Structure 1
Amino acid sequence: MALQWLILSYVVAAEAVIAVLLTLPYPMLVKKRVVSLVSLILQPAASIVAFAAFQLCDIYWKNEHRLSCSSEVCTATERDRYEKSIYKAQRNAVLCAAGILLYWCIYRICKYNKDLELLEEAVKRETHKDE
C-alpha cells in the first residue's frame, strides 16, 4: 500500500519540476523544444489522473468505513492510531489533488505555448502577405 503513495509522490514531484521548467524564461527555440518534449509526454502521463482519482475513491471508502475511536472505551494507543490514520488520509488526499492539479497546469501551459506559436505564425503569414 505504501508503494503506490511513494510512486504518486514521485510523480507529483516530477510534475512540479516540469511545471517549473515550463515557466522559466528561455530563448524561443529552447522554449519550443521543451514544450514539444513535454507535449509528447502528456498523453501517456494522463494515466496519473485516473490513478489519483482511484486513490481518492479509496480514501473516501476507507474514511466511510473506518471505525471511529471517540468514546471513553478507547485507549490512548488506539486513539493515537486513529488520529494518525486520519492525518495520513488527509495527506494522501492532498497528494492526489496536487497530482491532478499539476497535470492540468502542465497541460494548459503547453496548450498556451502551442496556441501562442500558432498565432505568431499567423501574424508572420499576414505580414508577408501584405508585403
Structure 2
Amino acid sequence: MKKTTITNWFLVDLINLKEKSLPQLLGQILWGDVLSDDTGRFKPGDYVCSNLIVARTDRNFITKSGSHYECVGKEKHVEVNIFDLHIIRQGVSPKQLIDLKQPLKLDLGRPDPAIDTDTLFKEIKEDSKLGKFKFDD
C-alpha cells in the first residue's frame, strides 16, 4: 500500500458556521507537511490538504479518494469554517488561518506616549473649522 507520510499535522473539523444554530460538523480532513510520499504526488516539504477522511486507525487515515496517510508527531485538532476551506487548500495552515481571524488585541486603556494628544485635538478642531469634517465640542 502506497502512502503519504506527514508531520506538523492537523486533524481539521470542517464546520458550517453560517447557520445561526450550533455549528454542524460536515467532515474531517488532514493538513500537514510532507515527510515522504510513496505515490509520487508530493515532495518532502510540500504541504498537503487531504480529501474527506473516511477511516482512521490510530495515526493512519484513508480519504474518500482512497489516499492513505500516516501522521508523525503530535495531533493538533482544530475547527475550520467550511467557507474557509479554500484558504487552507492554498497552503495557509489551519493555525495561521485561526491566528489571522482573531481580532486585534489592542490596549486602548492607555494612550500612546509618542502621540501629543493636545496637538492632535487642536488640529482636529482646526480642520473642522475649515469644513473638512464636523467635530462636536
TM over 0.5: no
Larger RCO: 1 or 2 (CA < 8 Å, sep 6+): 1
Q: If the length of structure 1 is used for normalisation, what is the TM-score?
A: 0.23
Q: If the length of structure 2 is used for normalisation, what is the TM-score?
A: 0.23
More helix by share: 1
More strand by share: 2
